[in-house]
Structure formats: structure tokens, C-alpha cells
């Protein structure tokens, strides 16, 4: 079980934890999140191939925010730079839904510097639109945002409404998200509309 995977006496010094493909799900998520938050020396964590739903994964991701040394998550070494903040460009194209959800609460650490964010081809789905939107809204210097092929559906409006007020934003790519004709017209014709692309 998760409790046996991380014995208390190892917690302060554990640097690498691989829990891939362990069929972990909702029942284990809260215990896992609580224990992960104690691993202050952790530099690598792999939770890929498990069965966490969106809400559970967001809870687990929240427990990682205070880990000062975590650089690699689910095999992706880009977690560290996002955690440290101050980025000008961030390319998360095709990294997968879990990594997008895990890094989203860290985007505000680059709020004053980030100008380009690529979240394309991650198929995050509509249920997590608000989680993504609230963190995108903090990026006050964002110029380009790529969200193509994420299956956001009705969540596109949630995301767009969150970022449309960013004065620097010039280019928004929303293709491949199942946006309906009415929503397309509403976004394109809005007084504050930015340059929007609806193709992939």
C-alpha cells in the first residue's frame, strides 16, 4: 500500500519515488497527497499509469507545491523550471493531462514574465477548465496562448472568459476543442475579442 511505500524514517531524505502503474485511485489519493507533502528532499516523482480522476489528481498536485527540490514529474524534467518561476516561454505541448493539471497552480509564479504558453494536444477535457482558467488569469503579460486539441468543449468559454481581460494577449488558438458555432461567434464578436484561431 501507499503507507508501506514511504516509511516515516525515510521521508526526510527520500529523493526519488516511482509509483507508476500501481492501480492507485481515489481511495489512495488523500493518503498519498498527505505523505507526498512531507517529502522535502524529493527530486523525482512518477505517478503515471494510475487511475486518479481529475479531482484526485488536482488534490495530489496541490501537495507538491511546497516541495522545494522536485524537478521531474512523471518523467518530465520541465517541472522544476515551472516550479521556480520567472519563465518567459513555457512549452507543455503534448505532455499529457496530468502534467498540465499539476503545473497549473505554478503558472502564477511566472505571472509577470510569461509571454507564451503552449498547452496544445493534451486532451485535458471540459471538467478541469475552471482549474486551468483561474491560473491562466494570473498571467498578466501573456501574448500568445495555444490550447488546440484539448477537447475542452463547453470549457472553452470558461477559459476564454478568464484570459480575455489580459491586455497583452494578442493570439489565442482554440481549434480542436469542439467549440460550437454560437460560442465561436460570441467570442469573435465580443468587444474585447482577441485574434482567435479555431483550426488545428
Report in angstroms the alpha-carbon separations of 65 from 106, 124, 200: 7, 20, 33
Record the pTM.
0.88
Whether the predicted pLDDT of 90 surpasses 50: yes
Task: Specify the pLDDT at position 124.
Answer: 93
Task: Specify the pLDDT at position 194.
Answer: 65
Whether the predicted pLDDT of 31 surpasses 50: yes
Whether the predicted pLDDT of 97 surpasses 70: yes
Task: Specify the pLDDT at position 2.
Answer: 57
Alpha helices (runs of H) in 78-180, residue ranges in sequence order: 79-84, 97-103, 129-136, 155-163
Task: Specify the pLDDT at position 6.
Answer: 54
Rounded Cα gap, residues 188 and 108, in angstroms: 27
Whether the predicted pLDDT of 176 surpasses 80: yes
Whether the predicted pLDDT of 57 surpasses 80: yes
Mean pLDDT of 14-25: 95
Nearest to 193 by CA among 162, 167, 164, 166: 164
Rounded Cα gap, residues 70 and 6, in angstroms: 16
Task: Specify the pLDDT at position 23.
Answer: 94
Tell me what the pLDDT averaged over the chain comes to. Answer: 89
Q: 180: how many CB neighbours lie within 10 A of its CB?
A: 12
CA 190, 191, 197 angle in degrees (round to 5)?
Answer: 50
Task: Specify the pLDDT at position 179.
Answer: 84
Amino acid at each position: 500500500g501507499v503507507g508501506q511505500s514511504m516509511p516515516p524514517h525515510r521521508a526526510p531524505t527520500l529523493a526519488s519515488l516511482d509509483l507508476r502503474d500501481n492501480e492507485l485511485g481515489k481511495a489512495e489519493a488523500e493518503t498519498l497527497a498527505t505523505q507526498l507533502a512531507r517529502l522535502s528532499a524529493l527530486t523525482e516523482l512518477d505517478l503515471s499509469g494510475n487511475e486518479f480522476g481529475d479531482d484526485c489528481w488536482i488534490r495530489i498536485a496541490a501537495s507538491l507545491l511546497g516541495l522545494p527540490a522536485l524537478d521531474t514529474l512523471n518523467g518530465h524534467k520541465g517541472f522544476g523550471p515551472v516550479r521556480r518561476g520567472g519563465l518567459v516561454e513555457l512549452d507543455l505541448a503534448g505532455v499529457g493531462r496530468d502534467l498540465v493539471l499539476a503545473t497549473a497552480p505554478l503558472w502564477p509564479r511566472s505571472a509577470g514574465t510569461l509571454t507564451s504558453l503552449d498547452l496544445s494536444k493534451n486532451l485535458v477535457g471540459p471538467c478541469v477548465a475552471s482549474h486551468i482558467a483561474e491560473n491562466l488569469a494570473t498571467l498578466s503579460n501573456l501574448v500568445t496562448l495555444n490550447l488546440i486539441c484539448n477537447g475542452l468543449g463547453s470549457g472553452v468559454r470558461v477559459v476564454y472568459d478568464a484570459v480575455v481581460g489580459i491586455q497583452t494577449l494578442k493570439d489565442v488558438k482554440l481549434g480542436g476543442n469542439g467549440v460550437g458555432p454560437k460560442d465561436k461567434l460570441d467570442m469573435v464578436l465580443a468587444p474585447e475579442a482577441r485574434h482567435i484561431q479555431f483550426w488545428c
